[in-house]
Amino acid sequence: IKFGKGEWVIGSVQYEKKNDLSLYIIIPAVIVPMLIIIIISVYCYRRKSQQAEREYEKVKHQLENLEESVRDRCKKEFTDLMIEMEDHTNELSEGRIPFLDYKTYTDRVFFLPSKDGANDVMITGKLDIPEARRATVSQALNQFSNLLNSKTFLINFIRTLERSHDFNARAKVYFASLLTVALHGKLEYYTDIMRTLLLELMEEYVHSKNPKLMLRRSETVVERMLCNWMSICLYQFLKDTAGEPLYKLFRAIKHQIEKGPVDARVKKAKYTLNDTGLLGDDVEYSVLTLQVLVQGEGPDVTPVKVLSCDTISQVKEKIIEQVYRNLPYSQRPKVDSVTLEWRPGSTGQILSDLDLTSQKEGRWKRINTLAHYNVRDNATLVLSRLLHTQQNYDQNQENHEERNALLDDDKVFHLVRPTDELDEIKSKRGSIKDKSMTKAITEIYLTRLLSVKGTLQQFVDDFFRSVLCSVSVVPPAVKYFFDFLDEQALKHNNVDEETIHIWKTNSLPLRFWVNILKNPHFTFDVHVSEVVDASLSVIAQTFMDACTKSEHKLSRDSPSNKLLYAKEISTYKKMVDDYYKGIRQMVSVSDQDMNTHLAEVSRVRDTAVIIFGL
């Protein structure tokens, strides 16, 4: 150590070295675990990806198989349907379409949608008037009839009624139908009244309301008068042209629905066009051919195809349909008026929906089916009518009382047992996975809608073509009224082509054809069940969508009913546009020609309409 001029020697100094880890140890210790983690992650990722890819390929393969099976099923069922419909086609060629007579047709179109329908006095013809007052009432009705023939009185009468707050929509519909019946013998005068009221309605909508809403609903007397006028003028067209395709469509829907199980309680079917009416459960069943002998009508045996899961009432309906197929529905025996007896051996057994042998599942009782009675293929059954003797009446009453007692004591189901409180508690305990699987399985059944739609497509197209074809004969009333709308539209600046299209749609397709399509029993002597009605409603909605100008943007959240005919809707829209254009290009129907036509319609059909004292 040197300090100033001094220098000292202390000796050697030794430092203790720090024990640091070498880089050769640190780097492997860090990198190796990282590499292991990365390798494991890559392996897990690849394995998951491969598993997902396998699942995707599996689902894709299932979807392809499903699509192929739906396509094959459509072809097969369409072929089967065409073969099985040959008998009906032969019946049609022999003129066996059960058209209602004109009187019954007008009764149902005018009065069934309002009040109490079939019990209406205008349909029954039973006007309850005391004998002492009949002469006075008859004289008063004749005087009132004279007043109705005065245009000034009738127009003011209708205006006065519509200003009344008590004159609701139902009363307006009913009044318009009564007026139509009263003036049926003078359709030229009726048409003049309708034109006058329509001009007033048009002025009101064009200047103070949205013109596109005119004729959309039956909110006024004249709107219902227009509907009745179309029903009268298009009756012959319905019989000559559109009736046969409509009847074939109805028969095809009914036949297709009855090929599969139909739940008699919840009114859902395996084969339907309506997703809300789809039977979302797999029901085991087999097709049986029964040999039916009708008691008292000879030894001939009629083969009838039924399902093993059919209730006894459903079996009776199918037997009656087949045995009495040449008779209209109103002339056939009803289900409650016949009994069905199975004769497996020397003794017979009466079959019924509910009896003491009915199976119970908890608090629920299952309706008896052919499978419950163990009825086999080619079994012989005897259909017999109930005799109205006192003994049979008492026995029938006892059976009804027994059946009602069984219905009151237990909850009843057919194919699908509704969820009760115990089931709900169990379902709450179920896993989320089970619930999602249940939902997925339910949605798979929607492919049945495609199958039924593909099978019925030709019948739907044939009906649409018969209604929307301007190349063939167009009823004079349609041409006359459409020209009237075009003429009035030219007088108003705020009425464009879209508004005219809406007016025509509201006056004919939506006001007449949709009503006829949804209610075949207005035209034919047939029975329309709830499951058939549900499918007809889908076709009617498609027809309505085809008549609108607005484009409907579809997504995965759109109703299944709209998605079902999404591919065809553009074709149907073009048919409607071409129909309207074709009618516009036709030769006009003059007022004189139209009055001549209306006079002829009144003359031919006036005797078929009931007019009470008018």
458's tokens = 């030709």
**Backbone torsions φ then ψ of 590, nearest 5 degrees:** -70, 165
| Distance between CA atoms of residues 292 and 320, nearest Å | 10
Please choose, from the candidates 248, 258, 383, 264, the residue with its C-alpha nearest in 3D space to the C-alpha of residue 323: 383
Q: Are 317 and 292 in contact (CB under 8 A)?
A: no
Which residues of the chain, if any, have pLDDT below 70?
17-24, 70-71, 73-95, 113-126, 388-410, 419-445, 556, 605-614
Asked if 264 contacts 314 with a C-beta cutoff of 8 angstroms, the reply is: yes
Q: Which residues share a beta bridge with 7?
A: 2
Beta bridge partners of 366: 413
Burial group, residue 429, by CB count within 10 angstroms (0-12, 13-18, 19+):
exposed
What is the distance between the alpha carbons of residues 504 and 481, in angstroms, rounded to a whole number?
Answer: 9
pLDDT tens column, 220-277: 999 999 999 999 999 999 999 999 999 999 999 999 999 999 999 989 998 999 988 8
Q: Is the CB of residue 247 less than 8 Å from the CB of residue 97?
A: yes
What are the tokens at 601? 């319609």
H or E segment to which residue 27 belongs: helix 23-84
3-state secondary structure of 345: coil
- The CA radius of gyration of the chain, in Å to the nearest whole number, is 37
Maximal CA-CA distance, the chain: 163
Phi, psi of 412, rounded to the nearest 5 degrees: -115, 140
pLDDT of residue 305: 93
Q: Supply the pLDDT for residue 441.
A: 45
* CA 257 – CA 263 distance, rounded (Å): 11
Closest CA to 567 of 588, 547, 552, 583: 552
Q: In the numeric block, which tokens belong to residue 266? A: 């919840």
Q: Phi and psi for 21 in degrees, rounded to 5? A: -75, 145
What the block records as the tokens of 459 is: 């019948």
The predicted pLDDT at position 422 comes to 47
Q: How many helices (H) and strands (E) does the chain have?
A: 23, 10
Structure-token pair, residue 614: 């008018």
Gap between the Cα atoms of 133 and 463, Å rounded = 51
Q: What is the pTM of this model?
A: 0.80
List strands edge to edge, sheet with 287-294: 301-307, 287-294, 380-385, 338-342, 349-351
Look at residue 439 in the predicted model and tell me its pLDDT: 42
- Decide if 345 contacts 402 (C-beta within 8 A): no
Q: In this predicted structure, what is the pLDDT of residue 70? A: 66
411/402 Cα distance (integer angstroms)? 15
